[in-house]
Amino acid sequence: RSSKVSRDTLYEAVREVLHGNQRKRRKFLETVELQISLKNYDPQKDKRFSGTVRLKSTPRPKFSVCLLGDQQHCDEAKAVDIPHMDIEALKKLNKNKKLVKKLAKKYDAFLASESLIKQIPRILGPGLNKAGKFPSLLTHNENLVAKVDEVKSTIKFQMKKV
């Protein structure tokens, strides 16, 4: 028998976990998993869902983001010390699966300029997509640093059949 958990109860449980973390420091980063079972939900009939949630804090400060940018974006990234690659650097990878895989492994997420984002599958092949790291769009009227922070504080969720 399952019952509904109130928002307060959930928040209290999360507070308790965080408080426990403060009391007993560990030498590694602990992961917290939240499992929710859905009532009256038929995964056969209903589509599986996934999405993203923007958190107030940055859960992974070491989360690395690389910009695949046009000249203006690369100059901005250079000025604030954000890893970046221009179209020439991407072409040098020459669709080499190993190199693209290595690039995907090196960074946790990617941003791409509007002018580049459509060309990425053609230049790099399906490597970034396969790794689940297809770049997010960065337009010229967005602040680069703010966008990087947004990517760092956004988590993905998906429904899995258990």
Residue pLDDT tens, the chain, 162 long: 556 778 888 888 888 888 887 787 778 777 777 777 777 777 677 667 778 888 887 777 788 999 999 999 999 999 999 999 999 999 998 888 899 999 999 999 999 999 999 999 888 888 888 888 899 999 999 999 999 999 998 888 777 766
- The answer to whether 116 touches 70, Cβ cutoff 8 Å, is yes
Which residues make beta-bridge pairs with 84? 67
CATH entry 3.40.50.790 includes domain 1-161: yes
- The answer to whether 53 touches 31, Cβ cutoff 8 Å, is no
pLDDT for 2 = 57
- The answer to whether 59 touches 157, Cβ cutoff 8 Å, is no
pTM, full prediction: 0.70
Per domain, the residue ranges of the chain are 1-161
pLDDT for 3 = 66
CA distance 18 to 12: 10
Q: Report which DSSP code applies to 142.
A: S
pLDDT for 97 = 87
